[in-house]
């Protein structure tokens, strides 16, 4: 079942601009993860933020988590054409020994050179 | 190199001809799963396995079988494929609380 919902579904920006994608979810989580998928390829893990963290950085990526609003955002700064891909959030449900990751439908990002 | 491998990467087959897509991981992960991805529907989980000999249905298990006889392998079996199983399939593995590793995908066409 899908819990994470990304917003927007599609985003088109110019190279050099920042891209912001949002994710909302419904139930308690241990962590939230963001993945990237180039067309037709496997998903690649970008960043993991735990439920007790509010912000995390990795290179040009910045992720925030607001557990009170059950939402997260992914910011890509100074975007490049190579950032063109689909981005998915995935929630890791709370509970002992939980293995299930629940994925949203993704945001399709197009970065125009 | 830590990885999940799938084979074949591309497969065209005909209705009713049994097929198996193999999946293997080298990270000693307990958890493995299969997804299918279709346009507009996102990733949907087919089956998952918490450990050897422990498997369970995901969201769309109809028409599929799996087995987990060894920790590293998790094959997906289509006993009698039908055209509505034409899709892009991904195998994945993880350990609890950590990131998930995905295979490169298998593009299946059932005629």
Cα of A108 to nearest chain B Cα, Å: 11
N- to C-terminal Cα distance for chain A?
36
pLDDT in tens, A39-65: 889 999 999 999 999 999 999 999 999
Q: Identify each DSSP E strand in chain B by its residue range.
A: 4-7, 10-13, 19-25, 31-38, 42-51, 54-57, 65-66, 76-78, 87-94, 101-102, 106-110
pLDDT in tens, B53-76: 999 999 999 999 999 999 999 999
Test B100 with A44 for CB contact under 8 angstroms: no
Test A99 with B31 for CB contact under 8 angstroms: yes
pLDDT tier at A111 (50, 70, 90 boundaries)?
very high
Q: For the purposes of burial, counting CB atoms within 10 Å of the CB of A90, is it exposed (0-12), middle (13-18) or buried (19 or more)?
A: buried
Task: Tokens for A37, please give them.
Answer: 């998928």
Check residue A1 and give its pLDDT.
45
pLDDT in tens, B82-95: 999 999 999 999 99
Residue A31 contacts B, CB cutoff 8 Å:
yes
Three-state secondary structure string covering chain A: CCCCEEECCEEEEECCCCEEEEEECCCCEEEEEEEEECCCCCCEEEEEEECCCCEEEECCEEEEEECCCCEEEEEECCCCHHHCEEEEEEEEECCCCCCCEEECCCEEEEEEC
In sequence order, which residues have a C-beta less than 8 Å from that of residue B102 and are 6 or more positions away? A35, A42, A43, A44, B4, B90, B91, B92
């Amino acid at each position: 079942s899908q819990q994470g919902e990304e917003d927007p579904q599609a985003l088109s920006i110019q190279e050099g601009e920042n891209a912001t994608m949002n994710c909302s979810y419904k139930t308690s989580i241990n962590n939230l993860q963001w993945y990237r998928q180039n067309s037709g390829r496997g998903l690649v893990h970008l960043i993991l933020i735990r439920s007790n963290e509010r912000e995390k950085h990795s290179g040009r990526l910045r992720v925030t988590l607001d557990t009170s609003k059950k939402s997260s955002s992914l910011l890509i700064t100074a975007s490049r054409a190579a950032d063109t891909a689909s981005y998915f959030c995935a929630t890791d449900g709370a509970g002992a020994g939980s293995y299930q990751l629940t994925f949203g439908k993704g945001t399709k990002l197009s970065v125009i050179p | 190199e830590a990885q999940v491998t799938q084979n074949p990467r591309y497969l065209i087959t005909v209705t009713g001809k049994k097929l198996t897509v193999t999946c293997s991981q080298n990270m000693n992960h307990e958890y493995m799963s299969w997804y299918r991805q279709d346009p507009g529907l996102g990733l949907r989980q087919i089956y998952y396995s918490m450990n050897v000999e422990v498997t369970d249905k995901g969201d769309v298990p109809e028409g599929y079988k799996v087995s987990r006889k060894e920790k590293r392998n998790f094959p997906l079996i289509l006993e009698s494929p039908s055209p509505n199983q034409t899709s892009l399939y991904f195998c994945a593995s993880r350990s609890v609380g950590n990131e998930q590793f995905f295979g490169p995908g298998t593009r299946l066409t059932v005629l």
